[in-house]
Every structure is written in structure tokens, then in C-alpha cells.
Homo-oligomer: A and B are copies of this chain.
């Protein structure tokens, strides 16, 4: 339903038009599309505007761009989707449910070797091990199993008496820059099954996240969501 006269203006219009041509196979997958300068002239806009539009499309994986080689329509649609990793409290409250959480464990111990290896810490290092059960309307919603590196934490930190959830506390108090996230479906472990009130081995949606403050590992956390949880994308 491409209304010629109306529609968006500026770089979004350029993006839409390029997308339309790709969809109509005027520009076939794998083919090189005209250079920015040419498109700019055709559309009567500055090259920067075309650049913005094409850059956006490249971000979504619709086209691939390389210097000198030009811009070509992606043959393999590695579509990129943006997912929002929400703060649990807000997610629960956003559903109109009542949020609460409950500390189920907290100790300063030596984690199993895989955890240390994953974070690049020396064998034998001690870390906080904090487990939290998050509740929505009093029912188990998410079981959180977190390892915390004491190093970047303020001195005298004691995670056993938080006013906020550990995650929110961290966000407010500890620097962290980047990390990586993995999603998977896994059978509920014994502990998770108990806490989430599901049979052992039942499917739980798992988000595993590591975060770093510069070079220093901050935390490794495993979030196990109860049944029915869905992670959606925008765009």
C-alpha cells in the first residue's frame, strides 16, 4: 500500500523506497545497488541522507555494504532482531502483577571451575553466590542464580540484605560496560524445579549473561524463567 504522495519523508522515505525495490526484485538478492551518490541525485537529497537510510538497512541485515565494493542486497537474510532484556520488576509490574523477590541463598565461596574459567578469574578465587526467586503475584516467575566478583564491588558489600534486587542494585552502583547474552531452553535442575514449582526436567527458558566493567568481570547470571515465558522482539 505505497501511497506515492504521502508517507514518510527524509531518510525514512529513502529506506522505504529502497526496501520496496528490493521487495519487488527490482534489485535482486546479491545484486549491487547504485552507489550513494547516484541515489542521492535520483532522490534529490544529500548523500548523507542516503547513507543514513542504507546504514539502517545494513544494520537490519537487509543489505551488505563494503567500501569500494558498494552496497548489495543480502543473499542470506541474516535478519537481525532487537530484543529488550527487561528488568524483572518492571516486566512483572508491566503485566499488572505484583512483584516481589526472595533471597534463597547467599555465600562467599569458590565457584566451580567452569564459572571461573568463563570469567577469566584465577582458580581458587572466591565469589559471591547469590540465588534469588522473583515472584509475580506471589507465584514463582524467575529463578536467578548469580555469581558476583567481589573485586569491583564497594568494600564491605553484603548482598544478603538488599533493598532492591541484586540486578537493580548493580545497575545503580557498579560500573559495567559490556557483556554477552545467550538464550536457550533447558530442563529444570533440581533446585530450579523446586523453586519454580515445576517438575524436574520441565522446560525453562534460560538467559545467561556475563557482564564486564572494562577488563574486570562483574557477574555471571543464569535466569531461569517459569513456564509460559516468551521473549518478544520489536521491529
Contact = CB atoms under 8 A, between A and B. Distances in A.
B171 A233 contact: no
Given A184-B230, A185-B185, A204-B203, A83 B84 contact: no
Interface in A182-233: 182-187, 201-206, 213-215, 225, 229-233
A35 interface: no
B79 A85 contact: yes
A55 to B, nearest CB: 10
Contacts of A101: none
Interface stretch (A37-45, A107-115, A118-126, A172-180): A172-180
B19 A177 contact: yes
Interface in A147-174: 168, 171-172
A206 B185 contact: yes
B171 A185 contact: no
Contact of A182 (B2, B29, B232): B232
A69 interface: no
Contacts of A215: 1
Interface string A1-42: 110000000000000000100011100010000000000000
A166 to B, nearest CB: 13
Nearest to A233: B181
A187 to B, nearest CB: 5
Nearest to A61: B84
A67 interface: no
Given A90-B76, A213-B23, A181 B85 contact: no
Contacts of A29: 171-172
B182 A230 contact: yes
A226 B139 CA distance: 29
A234 B80 CA distance: 10
Interface of A: 1-2, 19, 23-25, 29, 61, 76-87, 90, 168, 171-172, 175-178, 180-187, 201-206, 213-215, 225, 229-235
